[in-house]
Amino acid sequence: MDRLDNTVRPYAWGSPTAIPKLLGVEPTGEPQAEMWMGAHPGAPSRTARGTLVEVIDADPKRELGESAVARFGPRLPFLLKILAAGAPLSLQVHPDLEQAREGYADEERRNIPVDAPYRNYKDANHKPELICALTEFDGLCGFRDPARAAVLLEGLGVGSLKPYVDVLRAHPEDAALREVLTAVLTADPEEMAHTVAEAAAACDRLGGDYAPYAGIAHHYPGDPGVIAAMLLNHVRLQPGEALFLGAGIPHAYLSGLGVEIMANSDNVLRCGLTPKHVDVPELLRIVRFEAGDPGVLRPEAAPDGEEVYETPIDEFRLSRHVLPEGGGAHDLTRATPQILLCTAGTVRAGEHELTPGRSVFVPAGEKAEVSGAGTVFRATVIA
């Protein structure tokens, strides 16, 4: 197996302290948002044999296994991250596989540069993802029931929100959510900025259920995404709990530290809380206008102490082992590629000692035995 040297991405929303604290290093004073583990060309992990991209490209079947290559092609199909949100991320959705292929092909036909700020589809893949909390973790996930969203908006006492309240109460679920989100994102910018300012002041004053939206408005004053966010479920994960974000589900991470895994894609359609491009017509094509519970996941027990976060996705499978002191070794050998990540304690993986934030890549079929006292997350595929 290969010890990984991973890149930390300094996005503006990142926490300056959470990742350094996990790694046991001094903060730099700059935001540290995501640590990437995998073979994404934007920031591939480094090994003693070269970057993980170079290692896999040299012999895909040996590194990934024949079944994974046959199923997903000669590339690692997932990206594992440690994510540290110190401020809200953009409100966003991801396409399904068919939508991604169609969107990518269309933008290729129109010769839109892949690095253009107004391009939606960087690749032809979908981007389902799973976030597992390491600390208390706040986020938004999926639409509220329209009637509950109406009560929340009405409680602000902001007159310019009344038309949205009326629509949410009078129309069928999907039509109501679609109409209100469309109206929010296409409203006159000056008028919407004034509405958001009034709503933010009311959220500050009211607190309670409104507190998360006051925090969002503090980071994004005047952004229509503040009102759009109030259409969504607020969820607070406890350590070990997780959220699965499938295609078309609007979501945003607000604060906290977590382990995130996703299909290896960059496709994001933004709804707000961002200075970046918002393509409203394409967004409305992708969003699933369905209300529902955010569906907090808790790990399910499997053999040998493994705890699995079950999802309907084959490109990734996330699980964890909580290893007690003196508990002996666990054999994690699989016929598929793996990344093992320590998040607590000290864990020995083969010849490598892993402390929090340290990780290894295990080629398909290679012996993978872990021992020690701590927590290790295991990322692999189903093939």
What digits encode the pLDDT tens for the residues 284-293?
999 999 999 9
Backbone angles phi and psi of 160, in degrees to 5? -70, -10
* DSSP per residue, 5-49: B-EEE--TTBBSSHHHHHHT----SS-B-EEEEE--TTS--EETT
Average pLDDT over the chain reads 95
Rounded Cα gap, residues 219 and 235, in angstroms = 19
Regarding predicted confidence, which is higher, 303 or 323?
323
pLDDT at 57: 97
The pLDDT-based confidence of 305 (bands split at 50, 70, 90) is confident
| % of the chain surpassing 70 pLDDT | 100
**Location of structure tokens 């209300």:** 291
Where helices occur in 75-234 by DSSP H, the ranges are 97-109, 146-154, 162-170, 173-186, 189-206, 211-219, 225-229
pLDDT confidence of residue 383: 85
90 contacts 273 by C-beta, under 8 angstroms? yes
Query: Quick one: average pLDDT of 154-166?
Result: 97
Q: Specify whether 378 is catalytic.
A: no
Predicted local distance difference test score (pLDDT) of residue 46: 98
In this predicted structure, what is the pLDDT of residue 328? 84
Instruction: Please determine, for residue 347, whether its predicted confidence score (pLDDT) is greater than 90.
Output: yes
What mean pLDDT comes out for the span 167-182?
94
Separation of alpha carbons 77 and 93, rounded Å: 20
pLDDT grade for 275, boundaries at 50, 70 and 90: confident
Bridge partners of 32, per DSSP, are: 15
CA gyration radius, the chain: 22
Tokens, residue 66: 């024949």
Amino acid found at 211: A
Comparing 28-32, 270-274, 313-317, 319-323, the range with the smallest average pLDDT is: 270-274
CA-CA distance, 201 to 226, in Å (whole number)? 12
pLDDT of 277 > 90? The answer is: no
Residue in 46, 144, 270, 320 annotated catalytic: 270
Q: If you average pLDDT over residues 143-167, what whole number do you get? A: 97
d(CA 73, CA 361): 18
pLDDT value at residue 200: 97
The tokens describing 362, both together, are 């295990």
Which residue type sits at 76?
L
Maximum distance among all Cα pairs of the chain, rounded to whole angstroms: 65
For 60-116, write each residue's pLDDT tens digit: 999 999 999 999 999 999 999 999 999 999 999 999 999 999 999 999 999 999 889
Half-sphere exposure of 28 (CA within 13 A, CB side): 11
What pLDDT digit, counting tens, does each position of 59-75 carry? 999 999 999 999 999 99
The stretch 184-205 carries a mean pLDDT of 96
* pLDDT tens-digit series, residues 178-189: 999 999 999 999
309-345: pLDDT as tens digits: 999 999 999 999 999 988 788 999 999 999 999 999 9
